Each structure stands twice: as structure tokens, then as C-alpha cells.
Structure 1
Amino acid sequence: MTLTLTVSDEVRTIAPGFAHLAVEAHGLRNGPSDARSSALLDDAARRLADRLDGRAPHEDPHMAAWRAAYTAFGAKPSRTRNSAEALARRALADGGLPRINLLVDAYNAISVAHLVPVGGEDTDHIKGGMRLIRATGDEPFPTVAGGEETVEHPEPGEVVWCDDEGVTCRRWNWRQGVRTRLTEESVSALFLLEGLAPMTHGELDAAGAELAGHLRRLSPGARITVHAPR
């Protein structure tokens, strides 16, 4: 893998069952959402409804595990939901899932269908390796607030993904930064799927394989490698 991914011992301590799978892709062809990516999102919403069978997303055992992990590092999971739970709520609500672009739609569909947090990073904008750490509170997080670009900082002890330049995603997988997000110009990407027990490595593998399939169909000729859970 062209990027190194490391998880700090401090994070392992609060979530010993944590595992992540990476899908590395080069030669992608992104673009506006279309009928193909919209169909992926519609199918994911149907699969989610079948899985939950009337329950709320946070009642799913995997989402309950993420809520416990958020609580362990001091976040309030009913206010700052992990990305999969937040997307699932939108999928079940009137209006459904947003359409962003081909690549984002593809990984959002996997997140909803498998109820697993998934993020996508433009590797051309990653500086050095990526690390999952507990923040000191000094790390910069470029974002947009009220329509204006600004720089925030995580809370001390908050779990964040970061690279050599700063935070790329706050509160584990709650909010991605603008610097590394996937745009319609992105051609190389790293997709991270994150699981906690009771999600098994086999289930994480299945979600990663399905995402790789979506990417191959949306970007014929792209070079895609799935790196197994660890």
C-alpha cells in the first residue's frame, strides 16, 4: 500500500476489537452522481430497512458498539453520531440519502448497506502516513462553518485520523476535513472501512469486496487493491 496506516495503542485500549480494511484505488474516474450511483444508494436503503426490520439504527449491535466507543473517548454519541449511524438515519428519513458524486455515493452505499463506517480520502492530498490517535488538542482541522473556511482543533483525548499536516477526520469517523475529501477531480483514493465487534473480519471483507466491485464498474480500468482487516 502506498500509504501507511497505524492505530495508536491508546486507541486500541479503548476499542480492543477495532479493525479496519483499506481499499486502495488509482486511475479512478469520478464525476457527478448519475443513475448508476443513485441506484446503488436506493438499493442500500432497501437493504438497510430489511436489516433493521423496524428498529432504529442505534439499536443494531454494531452501532451500539460504536456508541460505546464514542462514549469511551468522551463524545456524546446521541449528538455526534458515527458516520454510519448518521447516514442510516438519513436513508430512513423522508428525502433519503444525498447524492454527492460517483465515488462518495459508492462508499456511502456500502456504509448504509453494511452499517459500517466508511470514509474516502484523496491520496494526492494526504501528507505522509495516516494515523488514528487520541488528539492533544493542538492539531489543525481545516473545515467549513457557516459557509466560511475555518480551522478548528479537536478536543484533547478525542480520537482522530490525521496525517503529517493535521486532522483528516474528527471524532474517529464523524466529520471529514475539506483538504482530503473526494471531489470530481479525484483520481486516486483510499477508502477506509472500520469495524468493531460484533462485526467480524469476514463481514468487513465482504463490505470491502462489494465496494471494490462498485469502483471497478464506475471506473473501468482503475487499479484497485483490497488490504485485509487488521
Structure 2
Amino acid sequence: MAQPFNATVAPEIDALGIPVVFFVMRNLSNRLADPEFDRLKRAATSALLARLSPEELAADPVLAGYHRLHERIACPRNRTTIPAPENLLKFLAKKGELPRVNLLVDIYNLISAETRLAMGAHDLERIAGNVRFRLTDGSELFHPLGDGPRAARAGEYAYIDEADEVLCRLEVRQVEKTKVTEETRHCFFIIQGNETTGSAMLQAATGRLIRRIQEFCGGGIEMLHCPWPDPQHPAELAISR
């Protein structure tokens, strides 16, 4: 029997006006790649590249919304605080393709790049207890992907488990502890917006992500938190940009 799991949002996050979606998918079939998804990804990245430019990134309202959130919590603007969707698009502009990690990660990275919404996934079996989306106090452990462990910076919003370990800093960087691998079977997913992203946008992106994951990886879904009235019905519409 699956262990009960929940993810909640602290009042100070609500006060910042950060809309977020939490859901769990279990019994997934992840792997390095899938030929049909690779074909779809090539077509989608070609379409993104056709209209991608430094000017377009600078003018994007969703990306600008993340930077305004950082300003509100006095978070310095530098290369360590670039929102994940912006980093993906800059990588795409430079390399001509999105990073290749594994199928699950590649699926949400593609949809994140297309929608500009921050998306992440965490291996549920490696999370200690439940997750709280709250402001850090500086006592938490932060061990970012590809880097060494350190204390979290106080006053930042982050997703934190019951071992007081950060799972994701801002919408910027995930961690080694819960990274998704080819062996991952159960995932906790986060979709985070900002003041520019209404609930309809988040709902549509959630439905789109779930459908794509189920198409290629299977899995059952449990909605935990969302900003729309009926959590059991993400959406049937895809976002067009």
C-alpha cells in the first residue's frame, strides 16, 4: 500500500500570490528515451526556435513575473537565480536543442519551455514525509543538482520536506536527493506560476502535462493542490502560444 503523502502551502506564500499545482503520479514507467516522443520533441523545439530571440525572452511577461517575485523577497538577480523556464529557453537558443535527461524529465522540460511555467518532478520514495511550500529560515539543507550541500538562504520561497531539506529553491533549482532517474516509479510534481499566470493557464498546462506523461509513461494521478475549483479535472485544453 502506498504511503500517504501531502503537500501544502504556507500563508506567507499565499500572501506573495504564488499560484501552484501539486500532484502525484504513481506506477510510472520511466526510461532514457522514447522514439515517438523524440520525434514530437524535435518538431516542438523547431517551432520554439523559429520565434526565439533575446528580445522575445526579455519581453516575456511570465518570465518577468518570476523576476518580480524575486525582487519582492529581496533575492539578488544573478546567474544563480534565473527561473528554470528561462534557463531552458536560453539553453535551447544556444545549443539548438533542450537538455536530454530521461523521458519524464524531458517531457516536463518541453512543456515548461513551451508554456514558460516552472515545472519539476521529485522521486516520491526519496522525499521525507510531507512537503511544505514556505519561506526558508536558513536552517534548511540545500543540495542542488550537480553541486555540493549548503545551508539554504533565509527568506526565499522553497519546497521543503519533513527532514528540513529543500527539494526546490525558488523555481530555479532542484536537488540531488529527489532527482528523477530511469528507476523512478512514483513522482511528486510541481507546477508554479506567478502574478501573470491565471488559474486557467495553470489548469491547461496541468492537463497537458498529465496527458503527455500518461501517453508515454502511464501512471495514475492524485491531485493534491490547485488554484481552480475542481481538483479532479485539470483541463482538456492545451495552451497555445
Q: Distance in 1 between matches of 2:8 and 2:119?
A: 17
Residue identity (%): 26
Structure 1 residue ranges without an equivalent (≥5): none
Identify the residue that residue 160 of structure 1 maps to in structure 2: 158
Question: Deviation of residue 228 (structure 1)?
Answer: 6.1
- Amino acid across the alignment from 1:86: N
Aligned partner of 1:229 in structure 2 is 226
* 1:76-106 Cα shifts (integer Å, max 9, x gaps): 3342211111111112223421110010001
Question: 1:218, CA displacement in angstroms?
Answer: 1.0
How far apart are the structure 2 equivalents of 1:77 and 1:48? Answer: 25
What per-residue deviation string (whole Å, max 9, x for no partner) do you get for residues 50-79 of structure 1?
676773324211111111001222223342
Alignment of 1:7-46 (within 5 A): 7-13=9-15, 15-16=16-17, 18-46=18-46
Report what 1:111 is aligned to: 112
Take 2:7 and 2:50, find their aligned partners in 1: how far apart are those partners?
Answer: 34
* Compared CA separation, residues 43 and 67, structure 1 to 2 (3 A): farther
1:212 to partner: Cα distance: 0.9
- Structure 1 position 196, deviation (Å): 1.5
Cα deviations by residue, 1:179-229 (Å, 9 ceiling, x for unpaired): 111111000012111111321211111111111111111124x21245562
Normalising by the residue count of structure 1, what TM-score does the alignment of the two structures yield? 0.87
Partner-residue secondary structure (3-state), 2:195: coil
Task: Specify the SS of the correspondent of 1:96.
Answer: coil
Q: What is the Cα deviation at residue 152 of structure 1? A: 0.9
Instruction: For residues 2-57 of structure 1, give each alpha carbon's deviation from its aligned partner in whole angstroms, at most 9, with x where no partner exists.
Output: 432222222333x22x2112332111011112323333433443454567677332
User: Are 1:190 and 2:192 counterparts?
Assistant: no
Which blocks of at least 5 consecutive residues in structure 2 are unaligned?
Answer: 228-241
Aligned residue identity for 2:11: D
Q: 1:102 to 1:127 in 2, by over 3 A?
A: same
TM-score if structure 2 supplies the norm length?
Answer: 0.83
Structure 1 residues 78, 96: closer, same or farther in 2, change over 3 A?
farther
- 1:180 aligns to what? 178
Per-residue Cα deviation, 1:137-187 (whole angstroms, up to 9, x for no partner): 1111234656xxx321111112211101111112x1211111111111000
Counterpart of 2:217?
219
Q: Is the 8 A contact 2:91 2:97 kept in 1?
A: yes
> Aligned in 2, Cα 1:135/1:212: closer, same or farther, shift over 3 Å?
same
Task: Identify the residue that residue 128 of structure 2 maps to in structure 1.
Answer: 127
- Residue 131 and residue 107 in structure 1: after superposition, are their counterparts in 2 closer, same or farther (change >3 A)? same
Give, as a single letter, the amino acid of the residue that structure 2 aligns with 1:163.
D
Check 1:73–1:96 CA distance in 2 against 1; reply closer, same or farther (3 A cut): same
SS of the residue 1:93 aligns to: helix
Partner of 1:3: 5
Q: Do 1:65 and 1:197's aligned partners in 2 also have CA atoms closer than 8 Å?
A: yes
Runs of 4+ in structure 1 off by over 6 angstroms are none
Query: Alpha carbon RMSD of aligned pairs, Å?
Result: 2.3
| 8 Å Cα contact 1:52-1:60 kept in structure 2 | no
For residue 192 of structure 2, give the secondary structure of its aligned residue in structure 1: strand
- Aligned counterparts of 2:106 and 2:5: Cα–Cα separation in 1: 23
- 3-state SS in 1 of match to 2:68: helix
One-letter code aligned to 1:156: A
